Every structure is written in structure tokens, then in C-alpha cells.
Amino acid sequence: MTQSEHRGGPGARGSTGNSPVETRNEAVARLEGDLEKLRALLREHMLQREAVEEELRASGEQYRMLAESIEDMVSLHADDGTILYVSPSCTKLTGYAPHEYLSGATFSFIHPEDHALAHAGMETVLRGESPTLELRAVCKDGTHRWVEMRPRLVPAEGRAPRRILSVTRDIEQRHRAEEALRRAEDRYRALFLRASHGIYRTTPDGTFVDVNPALVQMLGYDRPDELLGANVGNVAFRDPADQASVLARLSAGGLRDWAEVRWVMRDGTPISVRLAMHAVRNDDGTLEGYEVIAEDVTERQRREELLRRGERMASLGTTLAGVAHELNNPLAAIGGFAQLMLRETTASDEDRAALQTIHHESNRAAKIVRDLLTFARREESQQRERIDLNDVIGYLMATQRYAMETRGIERELKLAADLPAVLAERTQIEQVALNLLVNARQALEAMIDAPAEIGSGPRQRTPRIGVRTWTEGRRVMLEISDNGPGIPAELRSRIWDPFFTTKAEGEGTGLGLAMVHGIVTGYDGSIEVESDVGSGTRFIVSLPADSRPAPPVQTEVRGNTTPPREQAARALDILIVEDEPGIRRVLTRYFASRGHAVLSARDGAEAVKLARQSAFDVVICDLRLTGIMDGYEVVSRIRALPTGVRTRCIIMSGGGSEAVATLRNDTVVVSAVIEKPYDIEELRRAVEG
């Protein structure tokens, strides 16, 4: 075979006439051209690759510069948590250098108690979510620091491994502030729940949004949810208008102190409450609601009222103790002379009746003084007797007849027959009935004196006072009524208070009904008032009937016969020490009439001088004397004299039962203590033994 044939190969047989050499050259040329094209394409590809790599290197450098320039720590993690990159900010955050992070395990830099949270966060990221984790990072010095970690999944192309990019921020200061705020809120909530005062928050319209247990209890509810959503004006305020008034004062800037209001409990019980209110506003000044502290002051007000009343009673007791002596001295003289004249006079029945009235009224006046002391000092009276209430009413109506008739006031008496007796002091029962009668009469007189009204009205009624007695079971009932102007509802609860009066200054002390109430309740009785403005008033007194059998009736002998002059068993030398001339004259006259030798002294100095000169069988000495010596010292000095060793000393006191009790318990030796105004027979028995 020739060389040309070999070069042509099989293709030579298929040629169209070209020589084998030409065919081969063309093929080689084509191949070289294609190769050159490939080389050109490769060069272009390499240039593009270099440009891309350069761009990638530039971008990576920018990202690195960005990561290393921010304060937050930036880190890159493999999907198994391995740290691939960490920015230098890690050193400022935890104290570790970047290379220490790259050589350690990820979770060794997280507090052990937060590992579970970190694992869960990584799994969440791999699912395509973007959580925010708050956990504690471990610092190189062994401490822990709260950080906020925001891991994000980095998109990967093809089969490239997944990466997690995380930005970690220091939140230690914020976490401390939040923790302090939580603790403060916990303390506030604990204080809110444990406070003894009621605390609540409302919307601007007064709807409860939060209440503490003390408020729930204060209003008588069982659970807070029974109040939440309700309006405080409807639930708590006795008068919703009070709430509007308080809010108006608050909005006007006038509520700078506690506001006292009247609330009502769930069961209707009224209570007094003090409110401290604060308006809560948003940043833009819009009213958000009210925060309120409520203090129940009902019991405190009651105690303060009792204290004030006690102070008034103590003041009254002190005053009355001082004036009792001055009142009882003239009463003792009046009563003493009345008793003497009743024993000695031969006057007519009418004059004797007048003397008996003087004696009776002086005793009643003296009893009233003692009753005032009893009321003011809360003392118990023991001198009780069977009292016929009808007899008391008949006597008092007779004494008031003239005053009523001259003012045109009609009287209606309906006294029950066979009325049971009551066990009491007559003067106190008289005081009860007289106070009620006088109040009724004065109410009618005020109506009579009022200007005439046009048309029908109270002024056109005939003034009338009605008195009625009856029995209800074992109770004796007394009703005293009038058809006067009546008592306003707002005053009815106060009429029993001491010193409360609606009368003009100088016309009343406000003690009358207070004493009536005290006397009646002191006998286990009750007193009620029914009144309507314009229709009159009814007082109803109920007293327990005396269950003891009635004593036998004693016949009283009356007439013009002069009682026989009585003589003492033996004559006594008597010294009377009294600074009141009237009492000295009564006692001197009386004991001289009984055959005794009587001397008198105006003061202690004169009495001691007389006692030095002669011995006395009996010394009657007033407790309070003018001068430097009182009855105590006079008796002590006379008993210390040789002439006074056997002298019996009798003290007279006008200071009430409390002073008498003090004397009886004192170390001064006295034979008797007589309370002014005295009964002359009681004094006689003490003197003559």
C-alpha cells in the first residue's frame, strides 16, 4: 500500500475527487479553528471566574468588616452547632478571644440551665424560623451575662452545607432593669393584696377593673369577680351623686385631702368611708381611669363620737359637781323651812297644801340635780319604789294646766284603770313625763306663734296634747302626743344626743331628751318616737311592770290639827357649822324646838374656837365652807381637841352621791353623812341617835 493511501484511509474511497492530502489538511485546519475557539471560550470563562471570585472576595471582606465593626457579637455556625466564625466583639461581651470560641464547643459558652433553650432555638432555625432567644452567656471570669441571640439560616446553593448566622446582643442592664421592675410589681401586688385598706382601680366612668381583698370584704362581697365590671357608683355609693361630686372636685384640682363619703354594703348596711383618689392619665394626657384607696372609718367615727360624748359628760359632771352645792344649799333651806312649818303651823288646808307643794317641789328640784349627776357620771340609782304612773301624770297635768289653757292648748287624758305599778324613783318618772309634756307644749306654742299660712295648714289646727296609758303584757305603756309641726326625718336620730337642740339659744340645753332616754333605758325600758312633718309627734314609753305584790294601803290623816311638839329623849349640846344663813336658821330653830342647846358657826375657824371653849355632843358640819378650812379639817381639828374626843360629827354634803361615797370611804371618822337637801327626820335620827 502506498503512503498516500494510508493517509487517506477509508475516507479516501469516499472522496469526490479531492486528493487525500487536501482532505487531511482541511480537516486539520478545521480542528485547529475549533481548538482556537475553545481556547477563546476558556480564556473568557477564566476571566469571568476570576471576576466572580474577586467579587466574592470583596463581598466577603465587606461582610467581615461589617461583622467586626458592630458592637454586637456575630457568629457563624454549622448546622451541628460548631462555631465557624466569631467577631472580635465576643471579647468585650464575654472576655473570650475569637480563637478560644473556634477551639471550643458551642454549648460550653452557654449557661447549663439554658442548654435546652439553645437546642430548641437551633432546631427552630433549621426549620426555617427566626426565633429570638434570651439566655445567659458564660464569661471567662466565671460570671454569667444575659444576652439576646437572634440566629438565622443562611441560604445555600446546591449541595452546599447549611450555615447559621447569629447576632448576639448584651442585655444584662435591660434584664436587670426588667427584673427590678418585676420585683417592684410583685411587691406592689403583694402590698395591694395584703393592704388593710380597700384599693381599687376604675375606668373614667367608674367601672371596677381591679379590686383588692380588703375592698371586697369592706363591701360585704365574697369574691373580687363579683365587683369587677360593676360601677362603683351603683355598687358602693349610698348616693351616686356623691361620686359625681367627688370626681368633679378631683377634676377641678380641689381634692387635695381625703374625701369622706357614705357607702353602703351589699346587705344595705351604711358605712362611712374616706377616699384618697388619683387620676391616671396616658402620655398624651388622656384620662385612663382612677386609682383609689378607701378606708372604712365607721367604727373610728363611732369611737370618736363616744369619746366626744364622754368628754362632754365629764365636763358636765365637773360643772354640775361644782354647782350642786350652790343649788342644794338654798333647796335645803327651802325644804327645811317647809318641813318645820308643816309641823308647826295651824294654817288652813289650802295653806298646808301650798307648803306641801313647796316641800315636794324643792325635793323634786334637788332630785333633778342628783339625776343630772347620775346621768353625767353613769351612776346607778338604788332608791326605787312602786310608782303609780297615772298618779304621776295626773299631778303633772295639774301643774301644766294653767300654761296650756292660757295658750289655748286642749288636753286629752285616757288613763287605763288598774294600771300596774312600776318600780322606779318617782322624781325620775316625773322628769320623764314632764320633759315630754313640756316639749309637746313648746312645739305647739311655736306653731301658734308662727305666722299664719294661707289656706289650711298646721296653723289652722286646734293645738292638742294627748296622754294615754295602757298595758301590753308585763309592760306599762305611756304615750304623749301632740299635733304640732313634727320632727324632720334627718333630725330624729339625733334628738337623743346630749346637747343637741333645735331651740333658740337660751331656750334649751339639749339635755332633756338625753336624760329621758337614759332614765327609761336604765329601768330596762324603751322609748320610741313617731313623727311626720306637719302632722305631729308621738313619744311611746315602755316600762316593766312591778311584779311584787302591792303593799297594804296606809290611811293618811290630814287636817288643821297642829302636830304635837316632840321632845328628844335627852337634851344635847349641838354645834352647827354652816356658811348658809338660811340653813343655819332652819337647823337652829328645829333642834332648839326639840329641847337641845344649839350654837352655830359661820366658818371653820369660828367652829374650832367654840369647840375649844366647851364640849359638844354633836357637831353638824357642812363639807364645803367659806374660808381656809373645809368640813374635813374642821371635824379633824375638833376631834383632836380634849373637848372633842366624845363628840359625834355629822357631815352634810351638797356635792351628790359621788362626794358622799368619797366621804364614807375616807379615814375621817364621822358618825353620818347626810346628803343635801336632807329630810329633816333623817337628820334628826342621825343627831339624836
pLDDT tens, 210-260? 999 999 999 999 999 999 999 988 888 888 778 888 877 776 655 666 788
**Whole-structure pTM value:** 0.41
What is the three-state SS of 3-39? HHHHHHCHHHHCCCCCCHHHHHHHHHHHHHHHHHHHH
Contact call for residues 79 and 105 (beta carbons, < 8 A): no
pLDDT tens, 48-87? 656 555 554 554 555 556 556 678 888 888 888 888 888 8
Contact call for residues 607 and 638 (beta carbons, < 8 A): yes
Q: How many CB atoms lie within 10 A of CB 174?
A: 13
Pairing label, strands 526-532, 536-544:
antiparallel
Taken in order 598, 601, 607, 609, the sign of the CA dihedral is negative
C-alpha torsion 498→500→503→505, nearest 10: 90
pLDDT at residue 306, rounded to an integer: 57
pLDDT at residue 68, rounded to an integer: 66
- Measured N-to-C along each axis, helices 680-688 and 298-344 cross at an angle, to the nearest 10 degrees, of 80
pLDDT at residue 469, rounded to an integer: 95
pLDDT at residue 646, rounded to an integer: 87
pLDDT at residue 241, rounded to an integer: 79
Low-confidence ranges of the chain (pLDDT < 50): 1-16, 56, 59, 377-381, 454-458, 505-506, 553-565, 656-661, 664-665
pLDDT at residue 59, rounded to an integer: 46
pLDDT at residue 281, rounded to an integer: 86
Q: How far apart are CA 316 and CA 322, in angstroms?
A: 10
Beta bridge partners of 272: 262
CA distances from 367 to 396, 418, 421, 613, 623 (A): 16, 28, 21, 39, 19
Q: How far apart are CA 236 and CA 206, in angstroms?
A: 11
Name the grid cell of 5. 493511501
Q: How far apart are CA 345 and CA 353, in angstroms?
A: 12
Cα-based angle 582, 677, 667 (whole degrees, multiple of 5) = 105
pLDDT at residue 221, rounded to an integer: 94
Q: How far apart are CA 630 and CA 664, in angstroms?
A: 16
Preceding peptide of 544 cis, ω within 30°: no
| Residues 6 or more apart in contact with residue 224 via CB below 8 angstroms | 211, 212, 213, 216
Q: DSSP readout, 581-639?
A: HHHHHHHHHHHHHTT-EEEEESSHHHHHHHHHHS--SEEEEESS-SSS--HHHHHHHHH
